[in-house]
Amino acid sequence: MLFLLALLPLSAARAETDAASQIDQAVAVHMQQMLAEEAKRQAWQGQRHSLNITLLNSAERLPACAQALSVTVSSDDPSPLSRQRLDLSCADAPGWSVTALVQASVFLPAVHAARVIERGQTIAAEQLQLQEVNVGRASRGFYNSLDEVVGQGAKRRVRAGQLIAPNLLAAPLLIRRGQQVTIIASQDGISASATGEALANGREGEVIRVRNLGSQKVIEAQVVEEGVVTSTFR
C-alpha cells in the first residue's frame, strides 16, 4: 500500500505534464501552419520564430487527451504577427477546455546599410548587408533580399547599420545636373541626336531642362535611360 501511495503523486504529475505538452504541441502546430502560409504569401526566406504562450485558465487538473486537441481561433486579427486567442478542446472529454493567448515573434534576415549611403546615390550590393530583425518591430517595412534594393536610389542619407525601409528609397537618378547627355529628337518618323547638358537631376520618365550644346537652346526632354533624354523637333 505504501508503494502504491508513493506512485500516485508521480502519476498525477505525469498526467499534468502530458496535458501541458499536448497544449504546447497543438499551439505550436497551429502557429507554424499560420506562419508558413504568411511566409509563402510574403515570400519570406530564412525565417525563424518563437512563441510566447499564456494560458487564461489552468491546465493542471486536466487529464491527457486521447487524441489531438482541437484548436479554434477567436481573434479578430488573422495576422499571425498579432496576438492570437486560441481555444483548445478535447473531443473525448466534455468540459476539457483551455484558452491560450499566443504572441509569435518572427525573425528574418533583412537588408541593412553596410556603410553610409549618401542621398541620391544609386545603391550597390557592396553597400548592403543582411542582419536579422524582429518583423513585428519593423513597422516601416523591410527588404528580405539584397536584390530588392540594389540599383535603387537613396532618398536621404542612410547611416551605416541602418535598416533599409521602403520610405528610404526612390527610383535611381539616371541623369545628374551638369552631366553631358544624348538628346534623341524625333518627328514624323525622322530622328536625330545631339549632345546636351542636363540642367537638373532626372529619374526615368521625368521631364527635365536640357541645353543643346550645339544650338545653346534650352529644351524640355524626358529621361529614358542613363545619360539619354528624348524630345521632339521644334
Provide the residue ranges of all domains of the chain, joining segments of one domain with +. Answer: 2-105, 108-170, 173-232
Which set of grid coordinates corresponds to residue 86? 486560441
Chain position carrying cell 518572427: 106
Residue 233: band (very low, low, confident or very high) from pLDDT cuts 50, 70, 90: low
Instruction: Provide the CATH number for the domain formed by 173-232 in this structure.
Output: 2.30.30.760
The C-alpha atoms of residue 20 and residue 15 are separated, in whole angstroms, by: 9
- Check if the beta carbon of residue 171 is closer than 8 Å to that of residue 225: no
CATH fold match for the domains 108-170 and 173-232 = no
Paired strand residues for 209: 220
Q: What is the pTM of this model?
A: 0.68
Q: What is the largest CA-CA distance in the chain?
A: 113
Residue 172: the pLDDT is 84
Residue 1: band (very low, low, confident or very high) from pLDDT cuts 50, 70, 90: very low
Which set of grid coordinates corresponds to residue 99? 484558452
Average pLDDT over every residue of 24-52: 94
Residue 190: the pLDDT is 81
Q: Which residues contact 111 (CB under 8 A, 6 or more apart)?
A: 128, 129, 130, 142, 143, 144, 145, 146, 148, 149, 163, 164
The C-alpha atoms of residue 214 and residue 67 are separated, in whole angstroms, by: 85
Instruction: Provide the CATH number for the domain formed by 108-170 in this structure.
Output: 3.90.1210.10
The C-alpha atoms of residue 44 and residue 144 are separated, in whole angstroms, by: 7
